[in-house]
Chain A
């Protein structure tokens, strides 16, 4: 069997640096995706039909086209249309954030609608304004129920982040390709970043379980 990891050793620091590059834009994208997604979810349950339709259209566009296509349209399209030379980082957080928000909005919407209607009525009866009712009463309860689905979405995003290598962003995946080309031996660096992705997802899963346990303390 022709497998030699020792030749990769000099490149290890270069590959490990990719962890921070990947983590950096994944975390920002998750945060953007979550907040925009929650906002879109609120629009989806609002009483203004036009806004609801707009939110549905938004979701269907981001869910209905490939992520890699969206990424390339943002990265190559923005310079062409707006003459703004967008950095790979900005293109990445924008695309991944918006794309993820489409999925998050559906998860959050379902979560909100699963909260007992009586909770909203109790808050209304106490005279609590809509915004506080949502943020402090409904969303925390929805969060508890949707956390597994949300973690799933974050894990998907972490793994799919490897797609940014197509816009020359030096993330983990791209680094594996660079090292592979340098060594004329693509497999070893790919296996190494594979293990790294796996560990990142494991950490994310653990954090999710921890959070879930915290949110369940009221049971």
Chain B
């Protein structure tokens, strides 16, 4: 589904990602963890070209994002993204946040878009908020709307960029529950997270990053009980 090959990314002189190689298979849930500044979010943002790689290739379903002839708008339709700070459109009601892209990008009729938006809002438990504006919602509610908005495009792949880091502690669970049920439904997902318990429980694979490199990739049960590298063990000692 996603193949990353020899990826480098630098901002000016600062190398943020170095020599990244990995493959994410269809239906797989991958948690990317590591210290702040290790390049996790940058790697994720390269996967839908919100960051342009300095070098290397990224294939989504066989399409190379890094060559100019690729229609990036088309590829992005297949990739849903959820941000740390939600980024809901504040001037649109919740329902319009969900229907705008499907109507504009996929050409759905208002009616079609609203029917599927209603379903998604029910799925994230926010049917009663469809006519509310985002600013009247709590953080947890905003993030659930953001997830629904991404799902409204019927993506084949979901990217989560620290989806619970900006939330008050009591709202983390409601968002993680939604992400969990999405994982259970077979969605391919890459989740950058600091929630170790969540990573352990939901992920099929852990990617541990440090200093812009993938240091370790393993199954969660192996990673959390017997990490192979000192750096991973050091990190786990600090966070667990």
Measuring CB to CB, which residues of chain A are less than 8 angstroms from any residue of chain B? 116, 118-119, 121-129, 132, 136-137, 140-141, 144, 215, 217-219
- Further 11 A-B residue pairs, CB within 8 A, beyond A123-B89, A127-B77, A140-B91: A116-B87, A119-B89, A121-B83, A122-B81, A126-B77, A129-B105, A141-B91, A217-B133, A218-B134, A218-B135, A219-B133
Contact of A127 (CB < 8 Å), options: B74, B135, B149 = B74
Alpha-carbon distance A132/B149, docked complex (angstroms):
17
Q: By DSSP majority rule, is chain A's interface helix, strand, loop, or mixed?
A: helix
Given contacts A118-B83, A118-B85, A219-B135, contact A125 B76 (CB under 8 A): yes
Query: Given the complex, which residues of B lie within 8 Å of A218, measured CB to CB?
Result: 90-92, 133-135
Give the size category of B's interface with A: 20 to 34
Q: How far is the CB of A215 from chain B (nearest CB, A)?
A: 8
Residues of B within 8 A of A136 (CB): 100, 104
How distant is A216 from chain B, measured CB to nearest CB, in Å?
A: 10
6 cross-chain pairs, A with B, having the tightest CB-CB distances, nearest first = A122-B87, A118-B87, A125-B81, A126-B101, A127-B76, A127-B77
Distance from B95 Cβ to chain A, minimum over Cβ atoms (Å):
13
Contact A126 B91 (CB under 8 A): no
B101 and A127 within 8 A (CB) = yes
In the complex, what residues of B have CB within 8 A of residue A118's CB?
83, 85, 87
Residues of B near any A CB (own CB < 8 A): 48, 50, 73-74, 76-77, 79-81, 83, 85, 87-92, 100-101, 104-105, 133-135, 149-150, 153
Residue of B nearest to A141 (CB): B91
Q: List, in ascending order, chain A residues with CB within 8 A of B153's CB.
A: 126-127
By a CB distance below 8 angstroms, the chain B residues around A132 are: 104
Q: Cα distance A119–B27 when bound, in Å? A: 29
Bound together, the chains give a CA A129 to CA B103 distance in angstroms of: 12
CB distance from A120 to the nearest CB of B (A): 9
* Cα A128 to Cα B133 with chains together (Å): 21
